[in-house]
Structure 1
Amino acid sequence: MRPDDIYGGRIVAWLGRPGVLIENDRLQATIVPALGSRVVSLRCKTTSTELLHTPASVEAYESAPMLYGIPVLFPPNRIAGGTFEFGGRAYRLDINDPVTGSHAHGFVHDKAWEVVSCGRDEESARLVTAFDSAHYPSVAAQFPHRFRLVMRVELQGNALVQRIDLHNESDAAFPWGLGYHTAFNFPLGAASSPDSCTFSAPVGRRWRLDERFLPTGELVEDERAAQLRQGMPLAGVALDDVFEAAGDSANEAVLTDPDAGIRVRYRADRAFGTWVLHNGDGRQGFVCPEPYTCVTNAFNLALPPEATGLQALAPYASVSAASSIVVEPYRAEES
């Protein structure tokens, strides 16, 4: 085994940090275990196209880390005041979003994960990493339940499949939510015209947000929803919205770039009932379709779980959620 090999993957440098590169004949992915086991790069080898939004420097990354790669959010988005109650217990989380006075993006996206295994064969390549809250006193102080997340990132043909298994290792039930702040380049190709690219998302009603970007509890119809389901250009269109997933369509966001000859289908299983869409002002060269298992601040909304998506995990029980990024060739006659 060469010094840069790791059980079938390859150690590479990413902004000065060690990453693990896995690949098959179609795709190449880089994961950085020390940065929340974040997938930081996904390349289409047939077109030499980087699909994920990547920073130009360490400074760019550190100024806005949520806008690069696939951060794992557990729990996702904001919790008002960093506080909530569950099962007769009061929880107090760190306020790391002082502008809104919230806890934001959870416990695991910026912590080191352990590499469990890595392997490859003729058709696929995979990396398994794990996060154990018992190794982080700062997490245990906020969330007094031992939990483990085990994530499998696998390249299967033309798809990156991401699966997380959540294990409750404590003797009490706890509420949970999972999400990804996935940032794609948009357009996908560096030389592509923004006007020729389209984006679609499986969105239904929109959650009305207050001045702190927290849901008020009201769901409203949005005139953009039909266009988003069908597919629309995003040049100059600003998105920073929380939608319920449309129940009558495939639970996938689709990015189509005719100039690059690529279509990307970002699929989430039905555990993900919320989609957050974010692209800055629509002129920053990225779009974040973010699948969540629960809506922002679900821990504090006085609504039933079937509305918010908030779930409880029983003692010593486990649950899984999966998503995939499927990369397809696009031909003009498909339009």
Structure 2
Amino acid sequence: MGTEKNDNACIKETTWMGKKCIRFYAGGYEALMIPEVGANVMQLKDTVRGLNLLRTPPDNMDFEKFKNRPQVYGLPILFPPNRIEDGKFKVGDKEYKFPINEPKRNNYIHGFIKSEKWEASRIEILNKEEIEVEAIFNYTKDHEFYKYFPHEFQAKLTYNLSNKGLKQTTSVINKSSLKMPLGIGFHTSFNIPFHPESSESDCKLIASIDKRWEQDDRNLPTEKILDLTADEKKYLHEGIVPKGYPIESHYMLKPMNFNGHEFKGAIFEDRSKQLRLVYEMGKDYKHIVIWNDMGDKEYVCVEPQTCMINAPNVNMDDKITGFKTLEPGELWSEVCKIYLEEIK
């Protein structure tokens, strides 16, 4: 591939742990994508301010360790998202049984394409300050997971980098002859605080949440929908400091009015630096998990999901759970955006 340049825009082929990666620069941002592991954008930087926004695996990390647990770094895709009770679910007359990979809770968790090798299918400089990088994953009958999920499909991640930040378009097309279950999520891991001169208390999380799903001791929804507590309502206005105590909460997403505009997603606001780190989510992302890994780490995961945890096993209307199926040949697509903006 070499290096391509067009004024500010630049694409470089590089390596990490001996694996080929694509580093691309545009509009004051820099991204690093690794096709070898789920086409994960494991680094996103604001080059103007010198800020690393996403949690990046350290250079000396063992590659297999990263590959086996990419969900705590960067922008990993979950298909299906989060947990499936006992690894089992049913769609119509068809039963699915996924292998248990969370044995202490007897769940299947986080899907099977986040660690797969993808193919960088298109790399294009669109103009002086805009680049697009596309990666695809073709799932066929030859895949070892096919015995659990017998549907051929193609997943595509398109990353557009510009002065508007990172725009991520996720697409899935059902290439099988049967109706295919679909659930997509991201276990997006943000460096918090995202400015090295800030403290934990400087960074507050604002989120457009509506109701909370009660969860049992297996972290599965009980099907009981709870109103937000007084503390949780702070997410909607002044925000909360998402560190120093454990958070693992599952919410419905609902657009909110933020600064006079409709907004859906999450915002980390650092008033000490007059900056906002914004994670904007498309309409098909109807649920969100907020998780901070016990609250004593230097990162917080904000996890948009098209469907709730364990959605195919929840006895509620699909309009509530977000559970979808794709007809043969049907295409699904949705967008998320990550960008930094000044507080004015």
TM-score category, normalised to shorter length: over 0.9
- The match for 1:53 is 55
Specify the code of the residue in structure 2 equivalent to 1:36: G
Cα distance, 1:215 vs structure 2: 0.6
Cα distance, 1:213 vs structure 2: 0.4
Cα distance, 1:260 vs structure 2: 4.6
Cα distance, 1:109 vs structure 2: 0.1
Distance 1:261 1:11, change over 3 A: farther
- The match for 1:233 is 241
SS for the counterpart of 1:58 is coil
**1:303 corresponds to 2:316:** yes
Correspondence list, 1:121-270, <5 A: 121-134=127-140, 136-223=142-229, 224-230=231-237, 231-249=239-257, 250-270=263-283
After TM superposition, the structure 1 stretch with the greater mean CA deviation from structure 2, 204-213 or 251-260, is 251-260
Correspondence list, 1:93-112, <5 A: 93-112=98-117
After TM superposition, the structure 1 stretch with the greater mean CA deviation from structure 2, 251-260 or 76-85, is 251-260
Gaps of 5+ in 2: 258-262
User: TM-score, length-normalised on structure 1?
Assistant: 0.93
SS for the counterpart of 1:222 is coil
Equivalent of 1:17 in 5, 8, 19 = 19
CA RMSD of the aligned region, Å?
2.0
- The match for 2:122 is 117
Specify the code of the residue in structure 1 equivalent to 2:83: R
**1:68 corresponds to 2:70:** no
Specify the code of the residue in structure 1 equivalent to 2:32: T
Specify the code of the residue in structure 1 equivalent to 2:299: F
Specify the code of the residue in structure 2 equivalent to 1:289: V
* Conserved 8 A contact 1:205-1:225: no
Summarize deviations over 1:262-290 as a string: whole Å, max 9, x none.
31110011100001000122231111111
How many Å separate the matches in 1 of 2:25 and 2:167? 13
SS for the counterpart of 2:188 is coil
How many Å separate the matches in 1 of 2:110 and 2:174? 20
How many Å separate the matches in 1 of 2:110 and 2:86? 13
**1:78 corresponds to 2:83:** yes
- The match for 2:35 is 33
Cα distance, 1:308 vs structure 2: 0.4
How many Å separate the matches in 2 of 1:81 and 1:29? 37
How many Å separate the matches in 1 of 2:199 and 2:133? 34
Specify the code of the residue in structure 1 equivalent to 2:41: V
* Conserved 8 A contact 2:120-2:136: yes
Cα distance, 1:257 vs structure 2: 2.2
Count of aligned pairs: 330
Gaps of 5+ in 1: none
Larger fraction in strand? 2
* Conserved 8 A contact 2:253-2:265: no
Cα distance, 1:261 vs structure 2: 4.6
* Conserved 8 A contact 2:279-2:338: yes
How many Å separate the matches in 2 of 1:38 and 1:205? 30
Distance 1:90 1:65, change over 3 A: same
